Structure 1
């Protein structure tokens, strides 16, 4: 990890056309401006972590597997529900 000291208005250039500018600094934190090409995805660290956790949950398939099991095998006939229409009388 590279650690740099920067002041308001200072910038950092990263290969690939990425520029990070220190917009403001105070006791509450630092505000950064990021300029990057449109095809570069920029995510906050906590958001990237949440996405990774959701992907792991989805890949585990426990909830999805139970839901799919209630549907039955592919191509199986779906039994009529209560709103299937009028019943035939004999």
Structure 2
């Protein structure tokens, strides 16, 4: 993990096409603006973790499906 200290108006680059601008700091809150290509998905950490959890649940349910039973109806 890389830990950096930045001030409002400064920025961080990731690769050639992602830039994170520090726009404001108020107490413990940091406001960031992210410039990235449209095909790059950006999520808040808690949202990303919820997506991963839902994907795990969905995969577990799929493992229990008997595909031969589903195909009999066709």
Q: Same fold (TM over 0.5)?
A: yes
Distance 1:73-1:15 versus aligned 2 partners, 3 A rule = closer
TM-score (normalised: structure 2):
0.80
Q: Equivalences for 1:15-34 in 2 at 5 Å? A: 15-34=15-34
Q: Which runs of 4+ in 1 moved over 3 A?
A: 72-76
Q: CA deviation at 1:16?
A: 3.3
User: For residue 54 of structure 2, what is the aligned residue in structure 1?
Assistant: 54
Which residue does the alignment assign to 2:43?
A: 43
* Structure with the higher fraction of residues in helix conformation: 2
RMSD: 2.2
More strand by percentage: 2
Change in Cα spacing, 1:73 to 1:23, as seen in structure 2 (3 Å) is closer
Q: Which runs of 5+ in 1 are unaligned?
A: 77-90
**Structure 2 residue runs without a partner (length 5+):** none
Supply the distance in 1 between the matched residues of 2:6 and 2:70 (Cα, whole angstroms): 60
Normalising by structure 1, we get a TM-score of: 0.67
CA distance in 2 between counterparts of 1:13 and 1:58 reads 35
Corresponding residue number in structure 2 for 1:9: 9
- Greater relative contact order (Cα < 8 A, sep 6+): 2
